[in-house]
Amino acid sequence: MAAPTSRKFLGRPSLPERTFVINALRTETVGGVILLVAAIVALVLANTPLSGVYGDIRDFSFGPRRCICVSRSLPGPPTAC
């Protein structure tokens, strides 16, 4: 029998472990539970003294800083929204 190999804390899991996690996350039930937990955490943060943290998370954005609206009916270059 082979000796068990040691793994670093939060290291890369073995293939069977990764397959199990991937398959679990693909099911609708797990996705629904994750969404429900996120909604409960948001409600708790928004209604406690930590509401400032909730506001910071809610207002966080990444990507382009402005939206470019493209209208086919108007001639000329696209304009900012």
pTM of the model: 0.45
Give the residue numbers spanning the domain of 67. Answer: 15-80
Tally of domains within the chain: 1
User: Coil, strand, or helix at residue 79?
Assistant: strand
Residue 4 lies in a domain: no
Residue 9 lies in a domain: no
Residue 10 lies in a domain: no
- Say how far apart CA 12 and CA 49 lie, in whole Å: 37
Q: Please report which confidence band the pLDDT of residue 67 belongs to, taking 50, 70 and 90 as the band edges.
A: low
Residue 1 lies in a domain: no
CA angle 57/61/64 to nearest 5° reads 175
Which pLDDT does position 36 carry in this prediction? 94
Residue 24 lies in a domain: yes
Q: Please report which confidence band the pLDDT of residue 78 belongs to, taking 50, 70 and 90 as the band edges.
A: low
Q: Please report which confidence band the pLDDT of residue 56 belongs to, taking 50, 70 and 90 as the band edges.
A: confident
Residue 30 lies in a domain: yes
